[in-house]
């Protein structure tokens, strides 16, 4: 898995915001820029012309779309290239460092720092090509937009492991899909201060089972790193080793994997966590060693109670 980077991702910016160009400052010094096409032509896979015009106009006027989600005059273009980078990643089994991120953006609403849902655009393109897609989202915030977009289809299975309660307030165990998509959304809501041990154990149980029963053609990863213990926006307790571990787990089970960057707001740790995940995918050693974290007994009990409820919700559809 190679990293896909472009300076165009740095043009989306405003003052004093956690989702800032500095998140990628390390990569501009160490990566050759990739050739990326604008993904504007792919936006209508998910978005109406009315919505696309709304984002374009907001960018031209440098407007805020909600209290958290800003634009400047370059944001629309950066977002189009971010979508294009997601498609490129899906074609090359790469990791798109595109920003603005995407997994909170629904088909009708920009929110949570996100304008267009990059992983959803790339995944919808794959579905239209006849592929079954497994989306794994380990960003510490629930990817409500991705869930919403694919909530009624059995062509995409969405698995999210995230802190709950936390923004945006969605992602409980009983949110499992509707109509043809019933059973094809799986949420693992982790209590604050969940550590490496529980994060890796539950995914080590679910991912092989999904592989055998769903049999995806390709795995799309919403790779957010705000579950790291250093992150200022959440209270999860993962280390770089957890991201390396999930990379190894995915590589062991699947051949076709691509990823898109979502969250992760500690500027000193983000690049380390990204490299840890990519090294896991590539079966390389983790260069950033931290002491593994274990979850306290009270939090562990709460976590296990939630998993019992999740299994009950999914029992009619899957064997775990």
Task: Let me know if residue 253 belongs to a domain.
Answer: yes
Catalytic position from the list 12, 17, 30, 104: 104
Residue 229: partners with Cβ closer than 8 Å, 6 or more residues away = 236, 237, 238, 239, 293
pTM check: above 0.95? yes
Sheet holding 133-137, edge to edge: 3-4, 95-96, 257-261, 218-223, 133-137, 156-163, 185-190
pLDDT tens per residue, the chain (320 residues)?
Answer: 999 999 999 999 999 999 999 999 999 999 999 999 999 999 999 999 999 999 999 999 999 999 999 999 999 999 999 999 999 999 999 999 999 999 999 999 999 999 999 999 999 999 999 999 999 999 999 999 999 999 999 999 999 999 999 999 999 999 999 999 999 999 999 999 999 999 999 999 999 999 999 999 999 999 999 999 999 999 999 999 999 999 999 999 999 999 999 999 999 999 999 999 999 999 999 999 999 999 999 999 999 999 999 999 999 999 99
Range of the domain at 221: 3-314
Q: Looking at the domain assignment, is residue 319 inside a domain?
A: no
Q: Is residue 124 part of a domain?
A: yes
Determine, yes or no, domain membership for 320.
no
Known active-site residue 17:
no
What is the domain-level CATH number for residue 146? Answer: 3.40.800.20
How many distinct structural domains can be found in the chain? 1
Residue 100: inside a domain, yes or no? yes
276 belongs to a structural domain: yes
Distances 260 to 82, 90, 195, 213, 295 between C-alpha atoms, Å: 9, 9, 23, 25, 28
The C-alpha angle with vertex 96 and arms to 291 and 165, in degrees rounded to 5, equals 55
d(CA 113, CA 185): 23
Domain assignment present for 107: yes
């Amino acid at each position: 898995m190679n990293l896909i980077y472009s300076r165009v991702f740095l043009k989306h910016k405003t003052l004093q915001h956690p989702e800032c160009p500095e998140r990628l400052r390390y990569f501009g010094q160490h990566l050759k820029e990739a050739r990326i096409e604008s993904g504007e032509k792919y936006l209508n896979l998910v978005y109406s012309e009315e919505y696309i015009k709304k984002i374009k106009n907001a960018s031209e006027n440098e407007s805020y779309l909600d209290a958290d989600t800003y634009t400047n005059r370059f944001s629309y273009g950066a977002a189009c290239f971010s979508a294009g980078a997601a498609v490129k990643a899906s074609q090359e089994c790469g990791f798109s460092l595109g920003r603005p991120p995407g997994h909170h953006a629904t088909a009708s609403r920009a929110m949570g720092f996100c304008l267009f849902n990059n992983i959803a655009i790339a995944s919808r393109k794959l579905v239209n090509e006849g592929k079954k897609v497994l989306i794994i989202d380990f960003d510490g915030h629930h990817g409500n937009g991705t869930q919403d977009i694919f909530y009624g289809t059995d062509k995409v299975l969405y698995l999210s492991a995230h802190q709950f309660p936390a923004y945006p307030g969605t992602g409980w165990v009983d949110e499992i899909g509707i109509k043809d998509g019933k059973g094809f959304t799986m949420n693992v809501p982790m209590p604050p201060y969940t550590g490496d041990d529980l994060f890796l154990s539950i995914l080590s149980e679910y991912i092989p089972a999904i592989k055998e029963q769903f049999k995806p053609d390709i795995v799309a990863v919403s790779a957010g790193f705000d579950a790291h213990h250093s992150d200022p926006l959440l209270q999860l307790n993962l280390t770089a080793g957890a991201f390396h571990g999930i990379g190894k787990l995915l590589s062991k089970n699947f051949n076709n994997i691509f990823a898109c960057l979502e969250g992760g707001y500690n500027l000193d740790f983000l690049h380390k966590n990204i490299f840890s995940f990519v090294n896991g995918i590539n079966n390389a050693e983790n260069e950033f060693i931290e002491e593994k974290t274990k979850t306290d007994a009270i939090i562990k009990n709460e976590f296990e109670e939630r998993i019992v409820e999740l299994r009950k919700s999914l029992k009619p559809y899957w064997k775990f």
